[in-house]
Structure 1
Amino acid sequence: MKKLLAMILVTFLLLISTFTLPASAAETVNGEQIFSVHCAGCHINGGNIVRRGKNLKKQALKKYGMDSIEAITSIVTNGKNNMSAYKDRLTEQQIQNVAAYVLEQAQKDWR
């Protein structure tokens, strides 16, 4: 019986760890402010002035595997190609907030 309960608990923990909770309002408000200061220069309204196809719209994020908080956080932190890394300019929390904002805006089609 103890083994069965332990297996159920492990399964439950594995299941809940795969779900991402929605961002809080404070995270997205902070993310919006950070985005406007650090990101909007290249990504105004979710676009991309450097590489048009690699924008922050829902379809492009999905196409390039960037449609999760983790993926966006990674690229903001470490950069990639023309995208600068922000790990030395923003805190981890600020990066999380901007990632939450980008994902939320992509879901809203940047309206």
Structure 2
Amino acid sequence: MKKLVTLVLVTFLLSISTFIPASAADTVNGEQIFSVHCAGCHINGSNIIRRGKNLKKQALKKYGMDSIEAVTSIVTNGKNNMSAYKERLSEQQIKDVAAYVLEQAEKDWR
């Protein structure tokens, strides 16, 4: 009986673990990374270099940057005036800052 309960418990834990992301983004960490590396150009979701290419929800959607994959890609590789951060930040830090950007865009950076 004890073996059966253990087997059921292990099976249950393994089955629910497939629904939990392996490395969930940490938006608190993302906020800290953003304040150090991004806020200089993107304070409160704005853009001091190219005003229309800001981090507000409408602009992110317009330019196809409204997904974790898109934001992660541009932070990693850069584009035009946007610097690449693949040499300065880890993959997890980039995911964290991308998640933070999308979370703030949903809140209209308030």
TM range (shorter): 0.7 to 0.9
CA distance in 1, matches of 2:85, 2:49: 17
> How many residue pairs get matched?
89
Question: 1:38-49 alignment to 2 at 5 Å?
Answer: 38-49=37-48
Q: Which residue type is aligned with residue 59 of structure 1? A: Q
- Identity rate, percent: 87
Residue in structure 1 matched with residue 49 of structure 2 by the alignment: 50
Structure 2 spans left out of the alignment, 5+ residues: 1-20
Q: 1:53 Cα shift?
A: 0.1
CA distance in 2, matches of 1:37, 1:84: 14
TM-score norm. by structure 2 comes to 0.78
Question: 1:1-111 alignment to 2 at 5 Å?
Answer: 27-111=26-110
Instruction: Give the number of the structure whose alpha-carbon radius of gyration is greater.
Output: 2
3-state DSSP of counterpart to 1:33: helix
TM-score norm. by structure 1 comes to 0.77
CA distance in 2, matches of 1:107, 1:28: 13
Structure 1 spans left out of the alignment, 5+ residues: 1-20
CA distance in 1, matches of 2:27, 2:80: 26
Q: Which residue type is aligned with residue 71 of structure 2? A: I
RMSD across aligned positions (CA): 1.5
Q: List structure 1 runs of 4+ shifted beyond 3 angstroms.
A: none
